[in-house]
Structure 1
Amino acid sequence: MAYSFLALAVSPVQASDDDIRDALLRINEDSMMADVEQLVAFDTRFTGSDSNWAAVAWIVERFESMGYSARLDSFEVNISRRANENDYIFSGLTQVNVVATRTGILSPQRKIVLGAHYDSISIDRPQSGQGVAPGADDNASGVAAILEIARVMKDLPLGMSVDFVMFGAEELGLIGSSAYAHDAREAGEEIVLMMGIDVIGTRSTVFPNAFTLDTSNPNVSLAEQFADAAETFTTVFSRDGTSNARLMVSPVGCRCSDHQSFLDRGYPAIGVFQFFTNPAEHINMSFDTIDKVDIVYAVEITRAIMAGALKIAGFPSQSPDFDGSGTVDFSDFLIFADVFGSDFLEPDEERFDLDGDGAVGFSDFLLFSESFGRTL
C-alpha cells in the first residue's frame, strides 16, 4: 500500500508539446544517414566477424564523441541455427552489447531502455559467405535512430535515466538482448519501458506513412502513448498490417526482435518496425543495401519514438540541486523549505515544483528526498 502511494506521489512532470517539438527539431537527417552509410561500409556485421568488432569500436567512438562513457557487456554465443537451408553454428563465442547511459536527474534508478541490434546476416549465403551482409535496413536504420536520439538527449533534462543499448547477436536468436534483460532482472533493475528499434528504413507500398508497434496485452496503454506521439508530432502513424488496428498486440509479443527478451522477463516492452505485413524481401539478405533505406521515413519514426520517450522520462525535469553546488544537501533543503506549501508560484519559484503540478507540496518533498545526498 505504501509503495502505491509513493508511486502516485512521484509521477513525472509532463512536457508541453512545444517543449517536445523543440527537441525533435534537433534530430538531423544528415547525421542519421551518415551513420547508416558508415555501418553499411563495414560490408558485414555478422556475429564473430572482424567487421562486427570494427562496428563495435565505431559505435563506442560515436557514443564517446557525444560525451557518453560507453561500456561493453559481454555474453557467450552457443547456437546451432538453420535458416534458408543454411546452418549457422557457434560455440563459446564471446560477443558484446554496447551500453551508454543518460542519467536521470530526479529518479536515476528508474530507466527506459532504447535498443537496436547492430549485427547483420545474409541468410541467402552460408556461414562461410557472410563477408557480404550489409544490413542497411536491418538494422543500420535502427542503430542510426538510437545514436541520433542519444545525441539529442545528451543535453536534455530528463527525470529518469535512459540506457542506449546496441545489442549483439540478435540475428542468431536475440542472444545479446536476452543476456542484458536477464542481468537486469537478476540485479533488480527498475526498467519502466524498453523500446526495440528494428528495420525502420523501407516504406510500405500500401501505407507509405505507416509503421508498426508490437507489444503484449499488458502494455497496450504504453504503446498507445507512442502511437499518439506519432500522430501529434510526425507525418507517420502506427498500424498493424494484419488487423488494421493501431497496434500489433498479442498475449506474448511477436517473438521476432529484441523487445521480446524483455517481455519474456516481465518488463514492459515495445518493438518498433516499418509497416509490418509481409517482410520486405531484402531483410536478412545480401542485397539489403543502402538504397533500401528511406532516411526521411526513418527520421520520422525516430521522432515518434523520441517524443514518446520524452513524455515517459519526465522531460523537462527540474533539478533538486537548487543552489547549484553539484550535490543535493542540507543547504538545498533549507532553500526548498522556504517555498514548501506554496500553491501560487512566482516565476523564480517554479524550479521547486519538481513534479510539475503547479504547487510545491509533499510529492515534491518525496522527489527531493530521493535525491538527497546525491551528486548530480
Structure 2
Amino acid sequence: MRSNKILVPLVLSALLLAALSSCQSDGSGQSSAEEAPPKEKIPVPKFERDSAYVFVEQQVAFGPRVPNTEAHQKCKQWLTGQFKSYGAKVIEQDFQPTAYTGLVLKATNIIAQFNPDANKRIVLAAHWDSRPFADSPLSEERRDEPILGADDGGSGVAILLEVARQLQAHPIEMGVDLVLFDAEDYGESGGERAETYALGSQYWARNLHVSGKQRPKYGILLDMVGARGARFPQEYYSVQFAPQVVRKVWKLAQNMGYGNYFVNDSGGGITDDHYFVNTIAN
C-alpha cells in the first residue's frame, strides 16, 4: 500500500481483551467488602526478535513477491510449509482478481488456523505480497522496478510467523487465525483509487473462511511495522470503527513500557486492509 502505514486494530464484532482496570470501588473511596479475587497472572512468552528478523530475511531471499511471478509462487509454498510445521491448519484461498492494469492476477490468501474448532476466535493479519513498482521519486529510472518489501509486507508476515512458532510452543485455548492477504500492493499509484489496492482483503471480507459462532471477535492488522524508530499514532479509521480496541491496545502498550512507540496522537486516515474488512465484512 502507500507509504506511512501503521499498525492498526480492526474490529469484526466484539472486543475480548483482558481488563486492565483494578478492582472497582463502591463509590465511597473504600474497597468493596466483596472484592473479586485477584486474577491469575498469565505468563506471556518472550517474543524473539532475532527469529522475526530471520523470517524477514527468508522472505526477501525469494525476491519481490509479486503475483504471477516465480518468486511469489515459491514464497507461498514456503509460507504454507512454515505454518504447517508449527501445527496450524492451513487454508489456501485462491482467487483471480483483475488489477487496475487489466492484468488477471493469480493470488492466494493464506490462512493458518490454531484451535480450528474453537468458537472464540481472533484474527491477526498482514499482507505477504510486495509492491510491483517502487514509486520512488528519488530514482526516476528505477521507479518502475518491483521492491523487495522487507518492511512493506515482510515485517508483518515475519511477526505472524513468530506468533505461530510461539503458539506451537505455548498453546492457548482461544482460536487464532493468522491471515496473510495477497494482492494488497498491486494498486494504482497516486492514491486516487484506493479500491485498486487490498484486493486480497476485499476478497476475504466477502468470502470469510468461518461463519456463525466462529466469526472472529476482533482482529489486528500489521503493516509496515519494522521500520527503525517507528511511531504508531491512532489511525483515523481504526478509531472510527473500533475505538474501544484502540484505547485498550494503546493503554496496554503504555503499561508494558512501549508508549514511545504507541503514541497517544491522532493519525490520518489510511485506506488499507482494515478499512475494507470493516466496510465489507461487518
TM-score normalised by L of structure 1: 0.55
For residue 30 of structure 1, what is the aligned residue in structure 2? 50
Alpha-carbon distance in structure 1 between the residues aligned to 2:201 and 2:60: 22
Question: Per the alignment, do residues 12 and 135 of structure 1 end up closer, same or farther by CA in structure 2, a change over 3 Å counting?
Answer: closer
1:184-233, CA deviations, whole angstroms, 9 ceiling, x for partnerless residues? 29944522112110001113xxxx36223430424101111111121122
Maintained 8 Å contact 1:36/1:141: yes
Alpha-carbon distance in structure 2 between the residues aligned to 1:161 and 1:72: 18
For residue 206 of structure 2, what is the aligned residue in structure 1? 182
For residue 260 of structure 1, what is the aligned residue in structure 2? 275
Question: Per the alignment, do residues 153 and 14 of structure 1 end up closer, same or farther by CA in structure 2, a change over 3 Å counting?
Answer: farther
How far off its partner does 1:36 sit?
0.4
Alpha-carbon distance in structure 2 between the residues aligned to 1:51 and 1:63: 18
For residue 227 of structure 2, what is the aligned residue in structure 1? 202
Alpha-carbon distance in structure 1 between the residues aligned to 2:185 and 2:277: 16
Maintained 8 Å contact 2:88/2:112: yes
Alpha-carbon distance in structure 2 between the residues aligned to 1:56 and 1:49: 11
Which of structures 1 and 2 has the bigger CA Rg? 1
1:120-140, CA deviations, whole angstroms, 9 ceiling, x for partnerless residues? 0133499xx977421011010
For residue 30 of structure 2, what is the aligned residue in structure 1? none
Give the secondary-structure state (helix, strand or coil) at the position aligned to 2:80.
Answer: helix
Alpha-carbon distance in structure 1 between the residues aligned to 2:17 and 2:243: 20
Alpha-carbon distance in structure 1 between the residues aligned to 2:209 and 2:90: 21
1:228-248, CA deviations, whole angstroms, 9 ceiling, x for partnerless residues? 1211224353237xxx34xx4
Does the alignment pair 1:50 with 2:70?
yes
Question: Per the alignment, do residues 234 and 12 of structure 1 end up closer, same or farther by CA in structure 2, a change over 3 Å counting?
Answer: closer
Output aligned runs, 1:278-293, within 5 Å. Answer: none
For residue 10 of structure 2, what is the aligned residue in structure 1? none
Alpha-carbon distance in structure 2 between the residues aligned to 1:233 and 1:12: 15
Question: Per the alignment, do residues 18 and 232 of structure 1 end up closer, same or farther by CA in structure 2, a change over 3 Å counting?
Answer: farther
**Comparing both structures, which one devotes a greater share of its residues to strand?**
1
Given candidates 50, 53, 64, the residue that maps to 2:84 is 64
For residue 212 of structure 1, what is the aligned residue in structure 2? 233
Output aligned runs, 1:1-376, within 5 Å. Answer: 18-19=41-42, 22-25=43-46, 27-80=47-100, 88-91=101-104, 93-103=105-115, 108-121=118-131, 122-124=133-135, 132-172=146-186, 173-184=197-208, 187-188=211-212, 190-203=215-228, 208=229, 210-214=231-235, 215-236=238-259, 237-239=261-263, 244-245=265-266, 248=267, 254-255=270-271, 257-265=272-280, 267=282
Give the secondary-structure state (helix, strand or coil) at the position aligned to 1:264.
Answer: helix
Which region of structure 1 is more displaced relative to structure 2, 162-171 or 222-231? 222-231
Alpha-carbon distance in structure 1 between the residues aligned to 2:78 and 2:209: 29
**Comparing both structures, which one devotes a greater share of its residues to helix?**
1
Given residue 138 of structure 1, which amino acid in structure 2 is its aligned partner? D
For residue 9 of structure 2, what is the aligned residue in structure 1? none
Given residue 63 of structure 2, which amino acid in structure 1 is its aligned partner? D
Of structures 1 and 2, the one scoring higher in RCO (CA 8 A, sep 6+) is 2
How far off its partner does 1:254 sit?
2.5
How far off its partner does 1:266 sit?
5.1
Give the secondary-structure state (helix, strand or coil) at the position aligned to 2:207.
Answer: helix
Alpha-carbon distance in structure 2 between the residues aligned to 1:117 and 1:239: 24
How far off its partner does 1:176 sit?
0.9
- Matched residue pairs, number? 231
1:284-316, CA deviations, whole angstroms, 9 ceiling, x for partnerless residues? xxxxxxxxxxxxxxxxxxxxxxxxxxxxxxxxx
1:2-33, CA deviations, whole angstroms, 9 ceiling, x for partnerless residues? xxxxxx9xx787696952xx4242x1122101
Question: Per the alignment, do residues 17 and 176 of structure 1 end up closer, same or farther by CA in structure 2, a change over 3 Å counting?
Answer: farther
Question: Per the alignment, do residues 158 and 169 of structure 1 end up closer, same or farther by CA in structure 2, a change over 3 Å counting?
Answer: same
Alpha-carbon distance in structure 2 between the residues aligned to 1:47 and 1:12: 36
Given residue 199 of structure 2, which amino acid in structure 1 is its aligned partner? I
